[in-house]
Amino acid sequence: GLVKASILLMALGEDLAAFQLEFTALPNQPAISVTGFTKGTHTFAWNGGDGLGTPLQDGTYTVQLRGRDKGGNVGTFAIGSIQIDTEPPTISQVTPGHNAFQNTPIKTVDVSFNAGGGSLIDFNPAVTKIALKNANGTPITGSLSNSESDKRVALTLDQSLDTSDENGIYTITFDGADKAGNKVRSDDPLRVTRFTFDTVTPIVTKVTAGGQELKLNDASVVLPASGTIQIEAFDATNIDFSATNITLTSPTNQPVVFTRENKKGADGKVTMILNYGGLQEEGTYALQIVSLRDLAGNTLSNLRYPFRHFVTPLNAPTIVSTTPRNEEGIHIQLTFVEA
């Protein structure tokens, strides 16, 4: 048996004067007196302790019944092995994992156990089960299966999570026990697990510098030798700044050094502030968002925001004279001066 308490069913052929349960491999362990000495069928509930009521340590014990009838005759009956197990199983792994971000379809939710040296997991679906709910608390239906050798139970969803409409935070709740009746603790850190399903790539909402908005592949904006460029973006699961790559290159494709400050706002809004300086070449510079990645791995790639820079002043030239003056002619000469 697998016990916190083991129920022994016995049938006696005659009345007894003494009756006890003893440990064959532990001769010094006090035997347990058994009630029900009369002829007939009896049950005895053993609580896992010895004859003095001292609880035995978890493990496997070989026990037998010893009886003495009123004529002094002694007989034994070998019961075999009884396993004492008072420790609850623990959850070793949940897939998808706790606080995980996933952008690939989800068909199955798995829970694996660590029963230690205790009894096996009770995979009766009334005892050991998985529940999956979306952010609104709506249950996601599926069928339970198990692998006793792997100590694993799985919920296979009736409909995979695979569309952007299903994006959001999901909660896995698990209840389970071993065959000794020990339940997974309510405070087990993996008993309630949350993960995020996200299949949508981040978006860039605006790129500005000096009060001007930079446009994709449009170099109409002129910027000074030093300044600040601000990139505003949005993603439901927030940007993975460590996996985000942004470059700034000169007209001759040389890298321009800049610093970047990342700020997280509310509701998935983020701002990246680029501080650059020391532009020396005249011409078109390129701000390149090589990759903008969120925590689920969705990546926006290769966005180019060009702008121009000039070393010489940009004031408009002024006409100071024309030739010929106030006369019709085929050839007109204009003389300009820059401010």
Task: Please give the pLDDT value at position 312.
Answer: 67
Task: Please give the pLDDT value at position 325.
Answer: 58
User: Which tokens belong to 160?
Assistant: 């995979």
Task: Please give the pLDDT value at position 332.
Answer: 62
**What CA–CA distance (Å, rounded) separates 293 from 201?**
7
pLDDT > 70 fraction of the chain, expressed in percent and rounded: 89
Q: What is the mean pLDDT of the chain?
A: 88
In the sheet with 152-161, reading across from the earlier edge strand, the strands are: 90-95, 106-114, 152-161, 142-147
Cα atoms in the 13 Å half-sphere on the side-chain side of 336? 6
Task: Please give the pLDDT value at position 232.
Answer: 97
Taking only the tens place, the pLDDT of each residue in 115-131 is 776 778 888 988 999 99
Task: Please give the pLDDT value at position 23.
Answer: 85
Q: Using 50, 70 and 90 to split pLDDT, how confident is the model at 29?
A: confident
Task: Please give the pLDDT value at position 227.
Answer: 97
Task: Please give the pLDDT value at position 24.
Answer: 85
pLDDT score of 144 more than 90:
yes
Quick one: CA torsion of 214, 215, 218, 222, rounded to 10 degrees?
A: -10
Report yes or no: 296 and 101 within 8 Å, Cβ to Cβ: yes
Taking only the tens place, the pLDDT of each residue in 79-91 is 888 888 888 888 9
Q: Using 50, 70 and 90 to split pLDDT, how confident is the model at 2?
A: very low
**What CA–CA distance (Å, rounded) separates 229 from 214?**
9
pLDDT score of 253 more than 70:
yes
Task: Write down the pTM of the prediction.
Answer: 0.74
- Residue whose pair of structure tokens reads 């339940």 in the numeric block: 183
Taking only the tens place, the pLDDT of each residue in 283-330 is 999 999 999 999 999 999 999 999 999 986 555 566 666 666 555 655
Taking only the tens place, the pLDDT of each residue in 213-252 is 999 999 999 999 999 999 999 998 889 999 999 999 999 9
Task: Please give the pLDDT value at position 5.
Answer: 55
**What CA–CA distance (Å, rounded) separates 113 from 94?**
9
Taking only the tens place, the pLDDT of each residue in 160-185 is 999 999 999 999 999 989 888 888 98
Cβ-proximal residues to 110 (8 Å cutoff; 6+ apart), any chain: 93, 94, 95, 152, 153, 154
Mean pLDDT across 16-41: 84
Task: Please give the pLDDT value at position 114.
Answer: 84
Q: How far is CA 197 from CA 97, 106, 127, in A?
A: 12, 9, 28
- Classify residue 324 as exposed, middle or buried by CB count within 10 Å of its CB (0-12, 13-18, 19+): exposed
Mean pLDDT lowest among 23-32, 200-209, 262-271: 23-32
Q: How far is CA 58 from CA 55, 61, 83, 220, 298, in A?
A: 9, 9, 7, 78, 49
Task: Please give the pLDDT value at position 339.
Answer: 45
Taking only the tens place, the pLDDT of each residue in 47-81 is 778 888 888 888 888 888 889 998 999 999 888 88
